[in-house]
A and B are shown apart, each in its own frame.
Chain A
Amino acid sequence: MLRASIAYNGQEADLQGIADGAKAGDQGIVYGEKLTAFADAAVAGDPATLASARDALRDAAGSEALVDAAAVLGNFERMVRIADGTGIPLDEVVHTMSGDFREGLGIDSYRSRREVDAGPLARAFAPVLRRVASLGLGLAGRLTRRSD
C-alpha cells in the first residue's frame, strides 16, 4: 500500500525506510524521517527517546498529524498480532505485487514468514502487472488532483 500510495502521488517509491527506519531519511515522503523515528521510538519503548520523537513530529507536522500517526501505529501493533496469531498467509495478489521488494527489504527472511505461491503465471507476469498498476495509480492520482 505504501508503494501504491506513492505511485498515486506521482512519485517513484523508495521503500528502504521500511527496513532502515529514520536513517533512510524522508524517502520522498513529507516528514518521512520524523514519522519513522516516532514509530521506531514507540515500538522500542524508551520514554525519553519517544518523548523527543513525539515533540519533533509535533513541532514539524502539528498535533493532528501526531495523533493520526499514533493511531496508525496502535492499529498496526494489532494487525501484526492478528496475522501472527492466526497464521494467515499472504494474499496471492499482495504476494505477486510485492515480490520484487520483499527479498530486498529482508521481509522474506522474517521468522513469521508463511509460504505462499501465487503460481507460475502470476510469477511470470508479476513485473508487468506491477508496472501497469503503478502507471494506473499515477494516472488516477493526476486525474484526481486535476479535478480538485
Chain B
Amino acid sequence: MAPFSFEASVDPIRPDLVEAYRRAWNHIAGPGTWLTGAERVAVADETRRARDCALCRERKEALSPFAVEGDHDHGGGLSEPLVDAVHRVTTDAARLSERWVRGLLEQGTTIERYVETLGVTVLVISIDRFCHAMGLPEEPLPQALSGTPTEEPAQDLVEGEAWVPMQSKERVARALGLPMGQAPYVVRALSLVPAEVEAWQSLSAAQYLSIERMRSFDSPRAIDRSQIELVAGRVSALNECFY
C-alpha cells in the first residue's frame, strides 16, 4: 500500500496533502546534502523517540534545560550531538540557545549537518502532528535509500543574522520567485541547505499556503484566511514562539 493512504480516516484528506506527505517521505528517505539516507531516516526515528525520552521530560520540567545531565533514549543511528539536537528541537525548542548550537559544533558535528537534521526533524513533526490531530495512526517511516550526500555547499551565505549562516535574502528570493527580491527570515532559515528550503516550501504549500497565496488574503481552503491565521497564531503562542 502506498504511504499516507489514510484508509482509517473518516474525513476525506485532500489529495494535495497526500501528495505533499509522500514527497516529504521520499525526501527524507534519500541521501541529502550532508546526511545519508540512513542518517536522515535515523533523524526521523529519533524525532519520534524524543516524545517518550525520560531525559527530555526531566529537562522540560527543569528551570534550565541545560542543568540536567544524562543520556537520551536513542536508537543508536546518530552521533550524540545530532541526537541531542533532534530531541531538544522536538521537545523544548523555545529554550534553545546560540551557545547550545555552538556546543554541538564543539562536539564534532558541522553546522550544515545540524541544519539538515533540523530540516528533517521538523518535517516529521509537522506530518505526525497532522495525523495526531486527526486521530490517525502515524505513517511508518520510509526505508532509507542508498547513495552519498551531494555535499554541495550553499552559495551567497550571510553570517551573523541568526545562529546559523543563511543565504542572502536576494538569493533566496530569486530561487523562490519572491517579489521585491526580499525573503523573510523564516524562509531563509534553512537555506544553508537549500534542499531543505525546497522541502519546507513544498510541504507548506499544502499544509498552509503557497508563497503566492500568502500574499493574497483570499483562501483556497475550506477555512478562510483569518481562521487559518487564528490556528497558526494559537499554535505559535502555545509553543511560546516569539517569531
How far, in Å, is A49 (CB) from chain B's closest CB?
A: 12
Does B176 reach chain A (CB closer than 8 Å)?
no
Residues in A54-82 with C-beta less than 8 Å from chain B: 54, 58, 61-82
- Asked if B162 contacts A5 (CB within 8 A), the reply is no
Q: Is B107 an interface residue (CB 8 A)?
A: no
B121 touches A81 (CB 8 A): yes
Q: Is the CB of A5 within 8 A of B190?
A: no
Q: Is the CB of B133 within 8 A of A19?
A: no
When C-beta atoms are compared, the residue in chain A nearest to B184 turns out to be A91
Is B2 close to A, CB under 8 A? no
Residue interface mask A16-55, B partner, CB < 8 A = 1: 0111010000010111100110111011110000110010
Cross-chain contact of A86 among B14, B118, B227, B235 (Cβ < 8 A):
B118
In the assembly, what is the distance between CA of A9 and CA of B188, in Å? 30
With an 8 A cutoff between CB atoms, is B67 at the interface?
Answer: no
Within 8 Å CB of A63, what residues of B? Answer: 10-12
Bitwise interface map of A from 73 to 100 toward B, beta carbon under 8 Å scored 1, else 0: 1111111111111111111001000000
Q: Is the CB of B226 within 8 A of A39?
A: no
- Residue among A1, A51, A72, A108 with most chain B CB within 10 A: A72
Q: How far is B224's CA from A64's CA once the two chains are assembled, in angstroms?
A: 12
The residue in chain B whose Cβ has the minimal distance to the Cβ of A53 is: B133
With A71-B207, A77-B129, A112-B94 already in contact, the answer to whether A64 and B222 are too (CB < 8 A) is yes
**Do A32 and B227 contact each other (CB < 8 Å), given the known contacts A85-B93, A89-B185?**
yes
Check if B113 is an interface residue, CB within 8 A of chain A: no
Total A residues in contact with B, Cβ cutoff 8 Å? 74
Which of A27, A40, A54, A112 has the largest count of B CB atoms less than 10 A from its CB? A112
- Number of B residues contacting the other chain (C-beta, 8 Å)? 73
Q: Majority SS of interface residues in chain B?
A: helix
Which residues in A have their C-beta under 8 angstroms from that of B13?
67
Task: Tell yes or no: B28 within 8 A of A by CB.
Answer: no
Q: Using Cβ atoms and an 8 Å threshold, which residues of chain A touch B129? A: 42, 73-74, 77
CB-based contact B122/A70 at 8 Å:
no
Enumerate chain A residues within 8 angstroms of B98, measured Cβ to Cβ.
Answer: 87
Using CB atoms, name the residue of chain A closest to B94.
A112
What would 14 more interface pairs be, CB under 8 Å, given A67-B222, A73-B231, A88-B189? Answer: A5-B229, A18-B233, A18-B237, A30-B227, A32-B230, A42-B132, A42-B235, A51-B135, A71-B130, A81-B93, A82-B118, A87-B96, A87-B164, A141-B217
Interface on A for B, CB 8 Å cutoff? 1-2, 4-6, 8-9, 15, 17-19, 21, 27, 29-32, 35-36, 38-40, 42-45, 50-51, 54, 58, 61-91, 94, 105, 107-108, 110-114, 137, 140-141, 144
- Interface CB pairs A-B, < 8 A, 29: A5-B229, A6-B226, A18-B237, A21-B234, A36-B234, A38-B133, A50-B133, A54-B134, A65-B222, A70-B130, A72-B207, A72-B223, A73-B231, A74-B129, A79-B243, A80-B235, A82-B118, A82-B186, A83-B186, A85-B122, A86-B189, A86-B190, A87-B98, A87-B163, A89-B185, A110-B94, A112-B95, A112-B242, A141-B217
B residues within 8 Å of A by Cβ?
10-14, 17, 85, 89-90, 93-98, 101, 115, 118, 121-123, 125-130, 132-135, 161-164, 166, 184-186, 188-190, 200, 203-204, 206-208, 217-218, 221-243
Task: State the 10 A-B residue pairs at the shortest beta-carbon distance, nearest first.
Answer: A87-B163, A64-B222, A74-B130, A80-B241, A83-B243, A2-B229, A78-B126, A75-B207, A84-B93, A88-B185
